[in-house]
Amino acid sequence: MVSGVEDQGLLAGLGRFCYRRRRLVLLLWAVGTALVMAVGFGFAAPADNDFAGGKSQSGQAQNLIKQHFPERKGSSLTLAIQADAGIESPPVRTRVDSLAAQLATAPHITSVRSPYAAPGQVSQDGRTAFADLQSDLNPLPAAEVKHLIQQTRAASGNGVTFALGGADVVGAETPYGGKSDAIGGVAAMLVILIAFGSLLAMGLTMAAALFGIISGLALTFLLGYVFPAPSFSPIVATLLGLGVGIDYALFIVTRFREALAEGADPEEAVVVSIARAGRSVLFAGATVVIAMLGLFVVQQKLLNATAVAASVTVLMTMISAVTLLPALLGFAGHGIDRFKLPYLGRTGARSPMAERWARVIQRRPITGLVAGAAVMIVLAVPAFSMRLSFEDNSTEPRDTSGYASHRILTEGFGVGYDAPFVVVAELPPGGADLTALTDAVAHTPGIVQVTPVQLSQDKAAALFVAYPSTAHNDAATPRLLTRLRDQVIPAAVHGTGLVVHVGGPTAGDADFAAEVTVRLPWLIGTVIGLALILLLVLVRSVAIAVKAAVMTLLSVGASFGVLTAIVQWGWLGPLFGFPAPAPVTAWVPLFIFPILFGLSTDYEVFLVSRIREEYDAGADTREAVARGLSRTARVITAAAAIMVTVFLSVLATPDTAVKQFGLGLAVAVFQDATVVRMVLVPAIMELLGGANWWLPGWLDRLLPEVASAE
């Protein structure tokens, strides 16, 4: 019952081999995955969260600090202190000194600067102070940071409160992943169970996906030695791997069940599913990988590493779907629907409701187009006011040490103490007088205090810290930074031979956000261009390829708009776990766009491939669209439901940046699977008619030939 093309193609041969040698394939996957896990998880490369670097001012300031202030090469922590009786009270001073001495003995802590040892570390009312802790690692191990937090909490009480803050505290108290991964996996299992109604079909789908995800993640931990990746890299790879891995397995198992229902024997059904659905899986997965690798245009090494990690995970899920899954289906055979649950799942491919809906849209295509586009555009409007930054202690959950540190410092010193500017000066031979520089910075409107100048041991550099009056996430803070860099400092050091850079965490975040703003259009253009080429090869239609790009841009805009309204404007923020309004985390839009473009193309591939199959079989465009939508609506709906549940599962994690990432993707996928696939696509294809399949002759000859569509 297998047609000639399917019987002779490479994918058909692969499916047949994996079916007939299923024990060997399963053994190779089991042994290979176990080995990769043992090595990858056992010898994982350490995370690298240094986003500054590069040619930015903050990056150059950081390089100068590493070169001339080696004692500052690690990360910094801040011990916030609040005392009802006053910081100078002898009993309070004894407790502060005792805790400082205790913390100074911790592993990797190289120094603790007591509030009594330097000016400016005690508030004007005398009730608040802070101590600086310096380490020799960046970042500090989370276990060590948690131990430091426990020590500070244990020392609190009787009118004195201690709280530890800093970037490492944020990382330790709001880890990525954890229970959210389990929630996402369980939710995906429930969706598959509802779609198939069979415990065995659900189990095989999850098994194939998990083999690919686990092996991919293990490989990414090893690749960290070549491409050092940030802490959020595994959660990005896991979320994307869960979503696409389960979806790819779902598409193939669905096609396998259809073939069995049409009378094929298990071997023929495996060959059909791999030759047809497997081909679409490879094209869809390749699009996701290409979209992720488009992040290289941003020219940020940590984002490059995350793109590689996500791409490797997607690649492994693709390989698992077209090799391990056909072997597992061979073991299941006709028993794929074994352990079937009543009232759940249907084997039939066609959805009459979806077909009727498609015909409703086809009768009123202009109404559908206007209504669908209006919804997407309205949702996208808030995106025009989106601001980018990074999370800090102010965005942490209210019961954390990081937030307690933020609260104490802002109450005692003002909100700017969480947003220091580190001014680093490279001195000319013989040194230079920095008085004019420090005075100019100190008298700049918006600066409330500068610390004394610290000279490096080699006398070649100096630094001081300037505290603004505005918070890290306040829009006025990056404007003040720009004024210091472009006006105040150049005027103050003119003719002195000083080379000055403003760095520190706040400046680094501002530089990264500015770089994202500049590079994002290049990322969008690169990803769209590469994806258009793939779509042209697959569907051989200019109109459909361009339509897919435009629809994805609408989905991205709507996703960014909803994210801005919830995170930045604070609409329903607490409901989704965002304690206070804050800018969108700078790396989130960079990853949402390529991932969404890849996932959206997945749905486009599976829908249009089916429409093209009906069209090539003799149906006109209207009939082909209605039939194609009816045959793919159920599986695309299930796939989208899996994606949405997996992405929303990260709302259970305490990290606000990961929450934004998951929420943005969930909103985008939901819109893409409903408004785009169910309204805009049938409306546009109805209006275009025969032009849907237009392809210039010269382009037809230029594009490589691939097997017929699914």
pLDDT, mean of residues 442-463: 93
Say how far apart CA 298 and CA 276 lie, in whole Å: 36
- Asked if 196 and 135 sit in the same domain, the reply is no
pLDDT of residue 375: 95
Number of domains the chain contains:
2
Say how far apart CA 453 and CA 450 lie, in whole Å: 9
pLDDT of residue 624: 87
pLDDT, mean of residues 592-609: 79
List the structure tokens of 649.
Answer: 């599962």
Say how far apart CA 114 and CA 130 lie, in whole Å: 8
- Asked if 636 and 518 sit in the same domain, the reply is yes
Q: In this structure, is residue 608 part of a structural domain?
A: yes
Q: Is the pLDDT of residue 348 over 70?
A: no
Q: Is the pLDDT of residue 590 over 50?
A: yes
Query: Is residue 362 within 8 Å of residue 621, measured between CB atoms?
Result: no
Q: Is the pLDDT of residue 214 over 50?
A: yes
Name the domain boundary from 133, 165, 197: 165
Q: In this structure, is residue 425 part of a structural domain?
A: no
CATH number assigned to the domain comprising residue 137? 3.30.70.1440
Q: Is the pLDDT of residue 656 over 60?
A: yes
* Percentage with pLDDT > 70 across the chain: 94
When mean pLDDT is compared across 163-172, 457-466, 564-573, the lowest value belongs to 163-172
Q: Is the pLDDT of residue 468 over 70?
A: yes
pLDDT, tens only, 267-281:
999 999 999 888 878
- Asked if 183 and 311 sit in the same domain, the reply is yes
Q: Which domain holds residue 116?
A: 76-165
pLDDT, tens only, 195-205:
667 788 888 88
pLDDT, mean of residues 584-604: 83
pLDDT, mean of residues 474-478: 91
- Asked if 153 and 200 sit in the same domain, the reply is no
Q: In this structure, is residue 439 part of a structural domain?
A: no
pLDDT of residue 129: 95
Name the domain boundary from 130, 165, 200: 165
Q: In this structure, is residue 482 part of a structural domain?
A: no
Name the domain boundary from 118, 141, 165: 165
Residue 163, SS3? strand
Query: Is residue 19 within 8 Å of residue 327, measured between CB atoms?
Result: yes
Closest alpha carbon to 217 in 325, 288, 312, 318: 312
When mean pLDDT is compared across 414-423, 433-442, 563-572, 642-651, the lowest value belongs to 642-651
Q: Is the pLDDT of residue 53 over 60?
A: no
Model confidence at 708, pLDDT cuts 50, 70, 90, reads very low
Better pLDDT: 133 or 5:
133
Q: In this structure, is residue 500 part of a structural domain?
A: no
- Asked if 183 and 158 sit in the same domain, the reply is no
Strand order of the β-sheet with 109-113 is: 109-113, 128-135, 76-83, 160-165
Model confidence at 13, pLDDT cuts 50, 70, 90, reads very high
Better pLDDT: 330 or 473:
330
- Asked if 141 and 266 sit in the same domain, the reply is no
Query: Is residue 36 within 8 Å of residue 213, measured between CB atoms?
Result: no
- Asked if 517 and 651 sit in the same domain, the reply is yes
Better pLDDT: 604 or 689:
689
Say how far apart CA 170 and CA 655 lie, in whole Å: 8
pLDDT, tens only, 480-533:
999 999 999 999 999 898 999 999 888 988 998 888 888 888 888 888 887 788
Model confidence at 344, pLDDT cuts 50, 70, 90, reads low
Q: What Rg value do the Cα atoms of the chain yield, rounded?
A: 29
- Asked if 613 and 673 sit in the same domain, the reply is yes
* Percentage with pLDDT > 90 across the chain: 40
What pTM, to 2 d.p., does this model score?
A: 0.82
pLDDT, mean of residues 92-117: 93
Q: Is the pLDDT of residue 460 over 90?
A: yes
- Asked if 154 and 295 sit in the same domain, the reply is no
pLDDT of residue 184: 64
Better pLDDT: 211 or 616:
211
pLDDT, tens only, 81-93:
999 999 999 999 9
pLDDT, tens only, 370-407:
999 999 999 999 999 999 888 777 878 888 999 999 99
Q: In this structure, is residue 497 part of a structural domain?
A: no
- Asked if 128 and 194 sit in the same domain, the reply is no
Say how far apart CA 80 and CA 131 lie, in whole Å: 7
Q: Where are the alpha helices (DSSP H) in 43-136?
A: 57-68, 90-104
List the structure tokens of 255.
Answer: 């096609």
- In whole numbers, what is the pLDDT of the chain averaged over residues? 86
Q: Is the pLDDT of residue 12 over 60?
A: yes
Better pLDDT: 477 or 651:
477
Strand partners, 454: 463
Q: In this structure, is residue 472 part of a structural domain?
A: no
List the structure tokens of 621.
Answer: 């465009």
Q: Is the pLDDT of residue 48 over 80?
A: no
- Asked if 110 and 199 sit in the same domain, the reply is no
The DSSP-derived string for 332-344 is HGGGGG-SBPTT-
Q: In sequence order, which residues have a C-beta less than 8 Å from that of residue 234 and are 6 or more positions away?
A: 176, 177, 217, 220, 221, 309
Q: Is the pLDDT of residue 541 over 70?
A: yes
- Asked if 228 and 83 sit in the same domain, the reply is no
Q: In this structure, is residue 230 part of a structural domain?
A: yes
Model confidence at 54, pLDDT cuts 50, 70, 90, reads low
pLDDT, mean of residues 33-51: 84
